[in-house]
Amino acid sequence: MDCKEMILSEETYDIITDFSASEFLEDDNHCYERIGEDFLILYLGNLGIRNPKIDFFPYHNMPKLYGLMQLSPSGETPPGAAPFDPASLIASGITQVQRPPLSLTGRGVILCFIDTGIDYRNPVFLDENGNSRILAIWDQTVQTGIPPEGFKYGSEYRREDINLALRSEDPYSIVPSRDENGHGSILAGVAAGSVVRQGNPYIGAAPGADIVVVKLKECKQYLRSFYLVPEGVPAYQENDIMLGIKYAESFVRLFERPVVICLGLGTNQGDHAGNSSLSRYLSSLAVRRSRAAIVCGGNEGNASHHYRGRLSAQTPEESSRDVEIRVSEGCIGFWLELWGALPDAFNLSIRTPGGENIPELRLGLQQSVTYSFIYEKSRVTIDSALVEENSGEELILLRIQDPTPGIWTLHVSASGSLYNGNFHMWLPITEFLSAPVYFLNPDPDITLTEPSMAPEVLSVSAYNAENNSFYAESGRGFGRTGQIRPDLSAPGVNISTIDGRRTGSSMAAAITAGAVAQFFQWSVIEGNNRLAESREIRSYFIRGAVRTQGLNYPNREWGYGRLNLEETFNALLRV
C-alpha cells in the first residue's frame, strides 16, 4: 500500500505521537504526516492485533472520537420552516456593529469550519455577484481529486473550481463535495451567511468573511468498535481534526489575513484539563498572531455523565466510595474514564446488576485485564495507566461490552495513603451511547466537552437569548484542575439557521466565531491592532461581556458573562 491507501485503510492503525518516532519512519509498512513541529500522525500496517489496548497503544497515542454538538429538543421548527430571526445576533451585539459607523462584517477575515462539509450551492455562501465566498474545501472523504499541497488524502477544491461548478448544469461532476448531514453548513451559515435577496432574507454574524471548509472523514471501524460507538452515529478522529486545523492555518497571512477556526465538535474523552493532543495543538496555534480558535462547550450539562468523588482517611466509611451507574435496555456497551489527582492512586472493584463481582484490582503502572461472568454475557476490560503521559495523572479506562441492564456499582478505594482524595469519572457523550447510561448521583459541573479546556482557545457555553436563561443541556465549567472555563456564554437555543431553528452549543460557537471575525476586521484588517490573537481577543470579549447582578464571576455556567460585541467596543471607548 502507498501512504494514501494506508491512511484510508481499515487494516491500519492511526497513532498520534509528540516525538519523531524515527523507528517507524523508514519502514515500508508504515507512513506518517507531520503536524507542526510537535506532532506526528503514524499510520501503522497490520500488526496482527485484534483489539487495540492501552498496554499496546498508550491512551495518549490513540485518537479520541468527537461528535457533533447539536441537539434537537421538541418544539423546534422543522427544517426550512421558520423566517429569519436576528434576535440572537442582536443579543450578542453583533447586528449593532454590522451597521455604520463600524460596519464590521468580517471583511478580509477567513472563517474555517472543520465539520461535516458545506452546501456550496446555498445562496448564503455567495457574494452579490453570485460568486462563491468559499475560498477552498478540503473534502477528506473524496479521493478522486488532488489533495491539498502537503497532505496525502482527500480532495481540495478552490474557489475557481466552485465557481465553475456553480455555472454548470451538473455541479457535482466538478466539485463532488456534499454536506449530507447539514451540521457544517448550518454552522457556516450562522457565522458567515450572506444576505439572500430572493426569498426569505438571511444573514450571519460575519457576512463579509471568506470561508474555508474541511469535511472530515468518518472514523475507522476499529476505533468505533473499541470506543463502542453505535453504527451510523457521526464520529470523527482526533488526528483528522488536527490535520484540518493545520490546513486552516495554511491560509493565514500574518497581519493581513486572519483565520478564525470554529469547532462545533466535542467529546468526553480526555482529562478535562486541556492536555489532549488536540487541545495542545489548538493552544499552540491560538497564541500566534492573526489566529483564533473558538470551541463549543458541548451539551452534556444535564446528561448525568460526570461523577465527582472525594475519599478521606478520616473514617473508614469515607475511605472508599460506591458509584452507581444505571444502564438501560438496548445498550451495546460503553466506556468510562476515571481520572485521579496526584499524589493518590486508586483501586477499583465492580458489582454487576446480577450480583457478580470483580474483586478489587490493585492496578500497576500500565496494564489491561478482561473479565467475563458466569451468569451474565457482559465482558469488562479495565485498562490502567498510573501516569498518563499527557496529564501525568492516573487514568483507569473501563470498557463494558453487552452490559446487563440495571445498576452497576463501582467501588473506588485508595491504594495506600490518601492525600488529595479527589477523582472524577466521565461516561461517553450522549450521541455515542446506543441507550441511556448515567450516574445515579451525578455532578452537573465540569461537563464541558474537550477540547474546550485548551488553555488559549475561546470556550463558550450556550444560553437562551429569548429570556437570558442558561441552557440546561449546555456544558459547564470549570476544568478538572480548576481552569476557568467557559470564557463566555453565547446564544445557542432556537437559533435561526439556513435550515430552520437549531439548538446546541455548536450554535453558540458559530455566533462567537462570527463575532471574532468582526473584531479581526477592526483590529487586523483596518489596522487598529495588527498583532491580535486568540488570547487578546478573549480578554477584549471578557471586558465587554454582559454580567447579571447578583452572580459571581467567573461563573461555572456563564464564564465571565454573555457575549456582547457592541459592549466590547464600548469598553474600548471608555479606556
Q: Which helix (H) or strand (E) covers residue 36, if one does? A: none
Catalytically annotated residue among 132, 378, 506, 523: 506
Q: Is 110 exposed, middle or buried (0-12, 13-18, 19+ CB in 10 A)?
A: buried
**What are the phi and psi torsion angles at 134 (to 5°)?**
-85, 115
- Residue of 480, 478, 538, 546 whose CA lies nearest to 513: 538
Residue 64 grid coordinates: 479520541
CB 368 within 8 A of CB 398: no
Cα–chain-centroid distance for residue 301?
15
- Residue of 32, 2, 27, 29 whose CA lies nearest to 14: 32
CB 339 within 8 A of CB 272: yes
Catalytically annotated residue among 88, 119, 161, 183: 183
506 is an active site residue: yes
CA distance 252 to 245: 12
CB 470 within 8 A of CB 558: yes
CA distance 339 to 10: 31
CA distance 298 to 445: 12
Q: What is the SS3 assignment for 130?
A: coil
CB 565 within 8 A of CB 519: yes
CA-angle at 477, arms to 476 and 481, nearest 5°: 150
92 is an active site residue: no
| Amino acid making up residue 330 | G
Catalytically annotated residue among 115, 119, 240, 271: 115
Strand partners, 212: 112, 136
424 is an active site residue: no
CA distance 137 to 266: 22
CA distance 165 to 168: 5
CA distance 324 to 514: 42
Catalytic residues: 115, 183, 506
